[in-house]
Structure 1
């Protein structure tokens, strides 16, 4: 927890000077809206995970779910990409949730975020003027593969294979179409909210509000998150996501405005993580 908090604080302090300069020219109500949207985004992410855990056999109320999810997400700020999964398993023991079930639920939640984020980002690349040197048929094939991986028969077999590979007992319950479908839907809603947050900030820095720019913002953030997650040696994708977002917005915002948007979005998401972690610690302490 101490190492995770240091990483989280570093994510805020690293670009503090540029952040203050950006906030000086941004209307306060837009900055407030970005934090509010970040909180809603984390809530839907937690809801998706809660649905997965319930489908696997552990039905949690919102009090316990906030404890487990809120505190474990601080682990994202330790390089490696797995510490939030480890944390959820450890905290889950206090609520009689088998470790393998906690690991499975958080792994599926991350996988759903990765696959749905990649799908949304890919569709965005196809539907905008962002130029890439990849054949259209290959992108369509990628979407088909992503959809196939999110089918319960395929996903359950992958999970079983992973546990056998680690010589661990296979989870006693498997994901159903209903549970996986609802969890994926909630993850997509979370991506839309995160994209709206980036869009609101970009419009605050003079980007023209339109449906096209909104779709660009949603896809750009989803793809930036995926790339940031895959680069495991930096805490919570710091710097990587910002670079990807900058590539998408280079044609519609000035370089200074792009930097301001990605910095404020990053800090708003960090504040949301801190708030959920704080509420989780408070609830756990009371328990």
Structure 2
């Protein structure tokens, strides 16, 4: 006779993630904190190393001019974010605005750490939490660089001669890259290059190729960004002597060209030093050397402040959205809106604000 054991009633199922899942989450949080601490530390060092010159330069500027400069820098950084977001959307991951801003602006703090890999690594990691494949994040990042470079050289080649004839002549060699980059912007060329690189790395091809519309959208945002950067510099220049509408046009070309020269120097954090030297040289027709150095240093510090403002505001906005839910109400536990940024798994995101 077989003895039957009494049935033991099942207790409540354990809630929450398994114990083993807490360790990777803590590790990722620790890595992100270390990344932010390192980026902020190098950024602070860049300011402190030239503090005497920076303080003397700011003493020559009024508070309204500095405020206008900072506001236009924030607008310019927003143009850079929208450039990257347009490319990412065209590749198949149209992120909502606030999560996209957090990924871009927080990731961009990595440019203050020596080495060119930190921004892309940060964007790949944060994008993965939103369901964006790493290869797609990397492709959008590396496509943003030539888009910014080509649009910056193009707008400086137009604005510098228009504002001050002959001012662009010493830099004609840099403008030779414009037709080369124009060919490189053809989507068929871009897709072929990306496909070749992924095959060499043993990675699967991109699910969606880049389109001409997506590239033109990114170029449009990049041109708007350069215009805002120029207005940021013009607000500083107006305080140092030059005035008139031509100064604003000239400032767009000065900033775009000097920034492009900094972008070409990948081994220097955020183009530090190269951009300032180039800016002083391009400003020489309208400013004495001391005033040009003042303008370059003040511009540099305002941009650092703009990076911090954008990263902080984007992180706060994304956190509030994650807590409140997309419609302003608390998301249901375990539901599709309970993720960190309200983005579902997978590569394609159809919700959120339009591009």
TM-score, normalised to structure 2's length?
A: 0.75
Q: Tell me, which stretches of 5 or more residues in structure 2 are unaligned?
A: 1-34, 323-355
> Given the alignment, which residue of 30, 35, 38 partners 2:65?
30
Q: Which has the higher contact order (CA 8 A, sep 6+)?
A: 1
81-90 or 225-234, larger mean C-alpha shift: 225-234
1:243 is aligned to: 277
Contact kept, 8 Å, 1:7 with 1:235, in 2: the verdict is no
1:130 partnered with 2:141: no
Distance 2:158 2:174 in 1: 9
122-131 or 36-45, larger mean C-alpha shift: 122-131
1:208 is aligned to: 243
Give the drift of 1:19: 1.6
* Greater fraction helix: 1
Give the drift of 1:185: 0.6
1:186 is aligned to: 221
1:260 partnered with 2:294: yes
Distance 1:276 1:233 in 2: 24
Decide which structure has the larger Cα Rg and report it.
2
Partner-residue secondary structure (3-state), 2:92: coil
Distance 1:62 1:16 in 2: 36
Contact kept, 8 Å, 2:103 with 2:126, in 1: the verdict is yes
Give the drift of 1:139: 7.1
Q: Tell me, which stretches of 5 or more residues in structure 1 are unaligned?
A: none
Distance 2:213 2:202 in 1: 29
Displacement over 4 Å in runs of 4+ = 124-127, 131-134, 138-141, 283-286
2:341 is aligned to: none
Quickly say closer, same or farther: Cα 1:256–1:98, change in 2 above 3 A: same
Instruction: Count how many residue pairs are aligned between Structure 1 and Structure 2.
Output: 284
2:25 is aligned to: none
Distance 2:309 2:255 in 1: 21
Give the drift of 1:61: 1.1
Distance 1:119 1:165 in 2: 32
Give the drift of 1:126: 5.3
> Given the alignment, which residue of 68, 88, 91 partners 2:126?
91
Partner-residue secondary structure (3-state), 2:131: coil
> Given the alignment, which residue of 146, 149, 162 partners 1:111?
146
Cα offsets for 1:132-177 (capped at 9, x unmatched): 467x7x7775432221111211222122222223232221111111
What is the alpha-carbon root mean square deviation over aligned residues?
A: 2.0
TM-score, normalised to structure 1's length?
A: 0.91
1:151 is aligned to: 186
> Given the alignment, which residue of 224, 240, 259 partners 2:258?
224
